[in-house]
A and B are shown apart, each in its own frame.
Chain A
């Protein structure tokens, strides 16, 4: 189905598009981001200028990007998918050669004042390309091995580049997002079963390779796995972060210790309290009520995305929406599992709340695609 087949007349044009935007979703995103501003203000010890203010500026920029993307017809973005994917792969290669090293990993490139993290971008471009691929592909061929191999290759290419940085968290998110698009496009269950079995085998291989010449992960990644399995084994070393995070979270109790009253974050016991571990401060200061409410907001975002996707008869639009919803889900689920001690520390930010430019811009741009799909859906 090409854009020519859309009943163009029923699609809003011009500024009237603004009426068709999924406003509920916009409100949810603003609400989540506001939680982020509040927490960034709190962890900075009541100072706005440290983290909260730059974050607000980025959010405003991100919202503009979102509305811009939303107003451009979704078929344009479908046609741009290949270009976007190719561009992001080039940027990943660029990072490999010219990137800056931060926290033991090569993750971003400096473009003037902008610091771009191409791995964030690739999460969205991958989803776009896969959705476009399945929109183009004859439905009957969906589960044929050759036609399954192509998207698998498309997923693995950025994944391998990201793993080389090394950034395990993003690699997992890339694979998860890609797999969800394939799944929703209708690829046979058998493939997923096989991949699951292979994955289990790979995990076994990774664990057995430790200390041998063909060791598959970096030492710090193994330490993170150790820490995850038994944080108390080294409470002052690598287990320190996760132990302190759990203490902060648990000590919040029902209603929390009060805004700006969290001792764990106030007294610097929490690691990376403005980025990956910001959820622990929220949980400490606002307790179960606060933490559960944020989880609720995230879930509503998912619900609106999925509802929008299911209503949408355009294959690309619904696949892209589902893929982005899944990527968003993986973000917050992995982050929360991580800080609650249910997953190893892999370095995934809490979407729209953690301090950070690239992920917020890219996520809002992605929600722009969701909005575009919503606005330009066939009626």
Chain B
């Protein structure tokens, strides 16, 4: 079709106009683009540069080595061991399942580990998958040698906690375990270390209470990571500080002896320095192996521990609250003597029972002791003597003396679940039960029954204070990172030396007079003579009918209905160094079940090594020698009993 020249001219002009307009619009958009580029790349460059750095640089924590725990002589109690593990980096592995199967062909991988690794692999996370932990050096080397056939697999090593003296310190030092949600919830600003995989913190005992010192400070590495979080290279590194080493006041060998001496009894024993309060041994039996918890305890093992009626998991030395029984009698005596209501020469007639408020209270000896002095009352543990003086002095004075000697009070040592015990008075009963304190309550309390409850640790403190006349407090931490922890200043108790001496004399008679309840547990060596007090505390009521028939002997009762056996003591008598408290749950009589243990522990603390036979009464030496020979003691280097013979 033809067009006129005019039309053509006109249309060409129009195209030119519109084309120019189009070009102008495009230029405007280009100007906008340029302006935006300038804005982002020049004005906001610093912000974006920062974001880019944020993207690429990741801070990875370097876990510090946990502080080690030693005994007072520098023997290792809790240490760290090299721990090998095999990990898979999911980026490089490709098919994780295939790689896992290949690993399983060259080293043992448990089905549990396999499933856990597969589950981990399904999660989108930049962290490597842990295939197996705590491997032997052989397994790790096998994997390392086969690395070319195992894409993304690499061996790693770290430190993990180990307790070479396993059962000896389970209750003292406790154990570490993985960080739980509850651990994190308890902290306001949790250390980022706690979120690193496989990190372990103290769960009970010294490990928990000294966590702040033991943990140390994390170092960090600045690494460049790619979009999926894989580390491309290290940019910088700042080393952290390892945790502080801790020395305990405990002597690992004495502790080992104590644990072995308690054996399979459900029992607790504390040996304490009467001068400075250092705890030399603090044993709770039966014990358990804390290493099981570090590695993750199996259900079977855990159930065996919880279902055991001897309660191996309980730390009976500080958690256990027992009626102190006759070991309390020193408190009653000291209260009455201090109040001036009796003198050291006061004597009381014991007909075998005591009538007050229409009720009859019995002495353990049915026939009675006759006239008893203070010394005899302690030596032969006459109950009536204490019923009498307790009613003179009243419960409030007795409770006051108990507190002065460290009963009914929490002694802060770094252990878990420490009990306050109970040192009752009138006000307490009113507040607790809304009832009047009755005379019978005082009578019961006078011989450490009724409401009075004490822990073995408190009994050891009480004995130390009676022995030294000063308010010593227990100390468990000897030093942190070579810095000695202060010894609490032990003020004088303010009890007149003459009174204290009279009570100590009574305790001496307990184990040294022929009629003393612990005479058979005496120490024959004159330089180490023992003073003490036995106790037998009832865990059941003896009815009038039973009393009439004759009290059933402990041997005839089921285990858990038998009396608790207690013993407190100190030695040497002339220059006291160590105090001991022993509680054998349902052990029967204190003089037979607890006193020999107390004596042996004191002798062990005073001797260097197994106590010499010369310290024992001649008639017992054969038996003691056999006992020591059969005792499952550790070798001096700390290795398990019997391992050197194997």
Is the CB–CB distance between A247 and B52 below 8 Å? yes
Q: Considering the complex, which residues of chain B in the window 42-60 have a beta carbon less than 8 Å from any beta carbon of chain A?
A: 42, 44-45, 47-49, 51-53, 55-56
Is the CB–CB distance between B55 and A269 below 8 Å? yes
> How many angstroms between the C-alpha atoms of A248 and B19 in the bound complex?
36
Question: Other than the known A184-B18, A186-B11, A249-B40, what 12 A-B pairs have Cβ atoms closer than 8 Å?
Answer: A139-B10, A184-B22, A247-B55, A253-B45, A269-B226, A269-B227, A288-B41, A288-B42, A310-B15, A310-B19, A313-B12, A333-B33
Is the CB–CB distance between B41 and A295 below 8 Å? no
Determine the chain B residues whose CB is within 8 A of the CB of A362 once the complex forms: none
Q: Considering the complex, which residues of chain A in the window 291-313 have a beta carbon less than 8 Å from any beta carbon of chain B?
A: 291-292, 295, 298-299, 302-303, 306, 309-310, 313
- The contact size tier of chain B is 35 or more
Contact of A292 among B19, B26, B34 (CB under 8 A): B34
Q: Considering the complex, which residues of chain B in the window 1-54 have a beta carbon less than 8 Å from any beta carbon of chain A?
A: 1, 3, 7-8, 10-12, 14-16, 18-20, 22-23, 26-27, 29-30, 32-34, 36-38, 40-42, 44-45, 47-49, 51-53
B-contact bits for A315-326, CB 8 A (1 contact / 0 none): 100110010001
15 CB contacts below 8 A, A to B, read A140-B7, A184-B19, A248-B52, A251-B51, A253-B41, A254-B45, A263-B55, A283-B41, A292-B34, A295-B34, A303-B23, A333-B26, A333-B33, A336-B33, A340-B36
Shortest A36–chain B CB gap in Å is 18
- Closest residue to B49 on the A side, CB-wise? A251
Determine the chain A residues whose CB is within 8 A of the CB of B487 once the complex forms: none
Is the CB–CB distance between A299 and B30 below 8 Å? yes
Determine the chain A residues whose CB is within 8 A of the CB of B187 once the complex forms: none
- Closest residue to A326 on the B side, CB-wise? B22
Is the CB–CB distance between B37 and A340 below 8 Å? yes
- The contact size tier of chain A is 35 or more
> How many angstroms between the C-alpha atoms of A318 and B41 in the bound complex?
37
- Closest residue to A291 on the B side, CB-wise? B37
Is the CB–CB distance between B33 and A252 below 8 Å? no
Q: Is A342 on the interface with B (CB-CB < 8 A)?
A: yes
Q: Is A88 on the interface with B (CB-CB < 8 A)?
A: no
Shortest B396–chain A CB gap in Å is 69
Q: Is B225 on the interface with A (CB-CB < 8 A)?
A: yes
> How many angstroms between the C-alpha atoms of A379 and B11 in the bound complex?
17
Shortest A300–chain B CB gap in Å is 11
Residues on B close to A: CB < 8 A? 1, 3, 7-8, 10-12, 14-16, 18-20, 22-23, 26-27, 29-30, 32-34, 36-38, 40-42, 44-45, 47-49, 51-53, 55-56, 224-228, 232
Determine the chain B residues whose CB is within 8 A of the CB of A340 once the complex forms: 33, 36-37, 40
Contact of A295 among B33, B56, B224 (CB under 8 A): B33
Shortest B123–chain A CB gap in Å is 15
Main secondary structure, interface of A, reads helix
Q: Considering the complex, which residues of chain A in the window 174-233 have a beta carbon less than 8 Å from any beta carbon of chain B?
A: 180, 183-186
Determine the chain B residues whose CB is within 8 A of the CB of A140 once the complex forms: 7
Is the CB–CB distance between B48 and A322 below 8 Å? no
> How many angstroms between the C-alpha atoms of A136 and B11 in the bound complex?
12
Shortest A95–chain B CB gap in Å is 31
Is the CB–CB distance between A299 and B27 below 8 Å? yes
Shortest B236–chain A CB gap in Å is 16
Determine the chain A residues whose CB is within 8 A of the CB of B7 once the complex forms: 139-140
Report if A288-B226 is in contact (Cβ < 8 Å); known contacts: A263-B52, A306-B22, A313-B12. no
Is the CB–CB distance between B48 and A267 below 8 Å? no
- Closest residue to A303 on the B side, CB-wise? B23
Determine the chain A residues whose CB is within 8 A of the CB of B3 once the complex forms: 1, 138-139
Is the CB–CB distance between A315 and B11 below 8 Å? yes
Is the CB–CB distance between B36 and A250 below 8 Å? no
Shortest B363–chain A CB gap in Å is 80
Determine the chain B residues whose CB is within 8 A of the CB of A244 once the complex forms: 55
Determine the chain A residues whose CB is within 8 A of the CB of B34 once the complex forms: 292, 295
Is the CB–CB distance between B48 and A246 below 8 Å? yes
> How many angstroms between the C-alpha atoms of A349 and B52 in the bound complex?
24
Q: Is A358 on the interface with B (CB-CB < 8 A)?
A: no
Q: Considering the complex, which residues of chain A in the window 319-369 have a beta carbon less than 8 Å from any beta carbon of chain B?
A: 319, 322, 326, 329, 333, 336-337, 340, 342
Shortest B604–chain A CB gap in Å is 64
> How many angstroms between the C-alpha atoms of A136 and B12 in the bound complex?
14
